[in-house]
Copies of this chain bind each other. A is one copy, B any other.
Amino acid sequence: MDEKKRTEISELGEFKLIDRLTANFKPIQATSVRMAGDDAAVIDTGNQYTLVSTDLLLEGIDFDLVYTPLRHLGYKAVVAGCSDIYAMNGTPRQLLLGLGVSAKFSVEHLEEFYAGVQLACQTYGVDLAGGDTTASVNGLTISITTVGSVDKEKIVYRSGAHVNDLICITGDLGAAYMGLHLLEREKRAYAGSDSPQPQFQGHEYILGRQLKPESPRSVLEALDHAGIVPTAMIDLTDGLASDLLHICKQSQCGARIYLDRIPIARQTYDMAEELHIDPVTAALNGGNDYELLFTVPISRQEELFKLGEGIEVIGHITEERTGVALTTPDGDDIAITAPGWK
């Protein structure tokens, strides 16, 4: 590794890094409908589009095996993969699993992991269609490739949001993040202890959201049933702020979201208060909620409301020049800017 000029990745941030690395790539294949910039690659396979996404989950970054049961991790890996396909309004159908496994893992450990994978595959109706298991030096490396399909007229990109579209989210936000903080606190409290007795009572919801998240596919089914195709969509994995910025960047628009409209669960509030964390910050920057952020034309507002629970309108799309901002109950606008490199 030569060291002539050195630009830290953190100087660029995630957005600009990918732009810079992929700037010179020009499509060759006629079947490549979309290159980078969405949750999944879009490939024209005749009557339908085939969607392919890839996720990398690394021990020590994306999960901590001190408090993450391998069965839950397997389940979550599948949900993470399916989430990318749902974000394109598609149906996940096949999954390929790559595992790098260090010597600390036994066959029984992998069986636990695969039990979680299998349960999630059954829940979401996907087939484990292939993969690769190899040795690793350090810990567990998981790569998930998810393949799905979508009718051509129903595909949703990040780039389709228009001025005045309603900004909607499914479920509530920040719960996975507060669950993570709780797990980290109990880990610190019992570090070195042979008989840890973590205090989890009353926190089942936020723990579940962290350890065994689910995709809100029922909302997609309800939208489809009502004949509503979102204009843009993304899954909430980086946090509301970052994911909204992705939509606005790809759609070349601005956005206003309202602080008091962001749905935050009771348990999320309580844990945030206990840990002296701003619950709105948890919702904006927490990530890993696996909910969906999508936009819908304002003309469909009434039909949207009829769909009932599970969808919250938190703001609307604006002109690009107005930027992306969070409006407080006092009417102040707080600019939402590009996140750094995590």
Give residues in A with beta carbon < 8 Å to B.
Answer: 1, 3-9, 11-12, 14, 17-18, 20-22, 24-25, 27-29, 31-32, 34-36, 38, 40-43, 45-48, 50, 52-56, 58-62, 65, 70, 93-94, 96-101, 104-111, 114, 118, 121-122, 125-139, 141, 143, 145, 147, 149, 341-342
Contact = CB atoms under 8 A, between A and B. Distances in A.
Given A54-B143, A56-B100, 18 more contacts: A1-B105, A9-B105, A14-B133, A18-B133, A25-B118, A28-B121, A28-B125, A29-B93, A29-B126, A32-B94, A32-B129, A34-B129, A36-B129, A41-B130, A43-B94, A52-B130, A52-B145, A52-B147
Contacts of A131: 36, 54
Nearest to A49: B45
B133 A17 contact: yes
Nearest to A51: B130
Most interface-central of A40, A109, A145 (chain B CB within 10 A): A145
27 contacts: A7-B106, A7-B108, A8-B107, A17-B107, A21-B111, A28-B121, A28-B122, A28-B125, A28-B127, A32-B127, A35-B128, A36-B130, A41-B96, A43-B129, A52-B145, A52-B147, A53-B96, A54-B143, A55-B98, A58-B134, A58-B141, A61-B135, A61-B137, A96-B145, A98-B143, A134-B342, A145-B145
Chief secondary structure at chain A's binding surface: mixed
Contacts of A141: 56, 58, 100, 141
A108 B17 contact: no
A20 B54 contact: no
A134 B28 CA distance: 26
B47 A114 contact: no
Q: Which 7 A-B residue pairs are closest in the complex by CB-CB distance?
A: A41-B129, A143-B143, A45-B45, A41-B130, A60-B137, A7-B107, A56-B98
Most interface-central of A20, A28, A127 (chain B CB within 10 A): A127
A89 to B, nearest CB: 16
Contact of A45 (B11, B48, B53, B137): B48
Contacts of A110: 9, 17, 21
Contacts of A58: 100, 134, 136-137, 141
A255 B24 CA distance: 47
A35 B114 contact: no
B70 A1 contact: yes
A34 B40 CA distance: 22
B54 A125 contact: no
B43 A128 contact: no
Contact of A147 (B43, B48, B99): B43
A234 B125 CA distance: 29
A9 B106 contact: yes
B94 A135 contact: no
B50 A45 contact: yes
